[in-house]
Amino acid sequence: MHVSFHYIQRIFHAFSAELSSDHATKSDRVKVMPLTYFPKAAFLNAAVVFVLMLLAAPAKAYDGVCASKEDVAALPGGTWCRVSNSRLEDVEKSPQEWADWNGSSSASYESYQRITGIRGILAFSGGAYDSRRDRLLISGGGHNDYGGNEIMAFSLQTLSWERLTDPTAFPNRDPSSVNDDGTPISRHTYKSVEYISSTDTLFLLGGAPDSSSGGCGAAGAWHFDLRARELAGVYRPEQWLRIASIDEPESGCDVQSIHDRTSNRILYNSRRGWYDMDLRAAQWRKLNSAEYEQRKTFALIPGDANYLIHLGAGKFNGYLKRDLNSPDIAGVEVSTSGDRAIEDSDAMAFAYDTVSQKIIGWQGGANVFALDLTTNTWTRHTPIAENQVVPGGAARVYGRFRYSPVSNVFIVVTGVDEHVLLYKFKDGPGVPPEKSPLPPLDLITD
Percentage with pLDDT > 70 across the chain:
85
With bands split at pLDDT 50, 70 and 90, how would you rate the model's confidence at 27?
very low
Cβ-in-10-Å burial (0-12, 13-18, 19+) of 218 comes to buried
Q: Would 273 be classed as within a structural domain? A: yes
CA torsion sign, 393 to 397 to 400 to 405? positive
SS3 state at 81: strand
Question: Contact 362/425 with Cβ under 8 angstroms?
Answer: no
Q: Would 362 be classed as within a structural domain? A: yes
Is the pLDDT score of 149 beyond 90? yes
Same domain, 51 and 200: no
Same domain, 330 and 391: yes
DSSP letters for 107-142:
HHHHTT-TTTGGGGGGTT--EEEETTTTEEEEE--B
With bands split at pLDDT 50, 70 and 90, how would you rate the model's confidence at 17?
very low
Same domain, 170 and 44: no
Q: How far is CA 318 from CA 314, 321, 397, 399, in A?
A: 8, 10, 22, 21
Give the bridge partners for 279, in sequence order: none
CATH for 235: 2.120.10.80
Q: In whole angstroms, what is the distance from residue 170 CA to residue 327 CA?
A: 44
Q: How far is CA 219 from CA 181, 222, 242, 386, in A?
A: 17, 10, 10, 48
Q: Give me the chain's average pLDDT, please.
A: 87
Same domain, 108 and 14: no
Q: Would 26 be classed as within a structural domain? A: yes
Q: Would 187 be classed as within a structural domain? A: yes
Q: What are 295-332's pLDDT values in tens digits?
A: 578 899 999 999 999 998 888 889 999 999 999 999 99
Same domain, 171 and 146: yes
Question: Which residues 6+ apart lie within 8 Å of 229 measured at CB?
Answer: 164, 165, 235, 239
Give mean pLDDT, residues 190-218: 93
Same domain, 170 and 226: yes
Q: What is the pLDDT of residue 372?
A: 98
Q: What is the pLDDT of residue 292?
A: 53
**Which letter does DSSP use for residue 85 in this model?**
T
Same domain, 128 and 182: yes
Domain count, the chain: 2
Q: Would 438 be classed as within a structural domain? A: no
Same domain, 22 and 79: no
Same domain, 199 and 341: yes
Lowest mean pLDDT among 38-47, 96-105, 169-178: 38-47
Q: What is the pLDDT of residue 439?
A: 80
Give mean pLDDT, residues 70-86: 98
Measured in whole angstroms, the distance separating CA 190 from the mean position of its chain's CA atoms is 14
Q: In whole angstroms, what is the distance from residue 209 CA to residue 219 CA?
A: 9
Same domain, 111 and 44: no
Q: Give residue 203's domain range.
A: 65-424
Q: What is the pLDDT of residue 293?
A: 57
With bands split at pLDDT 50, 70 and 90, how would you rate the model's confidence at 58?
low
Give mean pLDDT, residues 2-29: 39
Q: Would 285 be classed as within a structural domain? A: yes
Same domain, 107 and 27: no
The H-or-E segment that residue 209 falls in is strand 208-209
Give mean pLDDT, residues 104-111: 98
Same domain, 42 and 70: no
Per the document, the length of the chain is 446
Question: Contact 357/345 with Cβ under 8 angstroms?
Answer: no
Cβ-in-10-Å burial (0-12, 13-18, 19+) of 174 comes to buried
Q: How much is the pTM?
A: 0.86
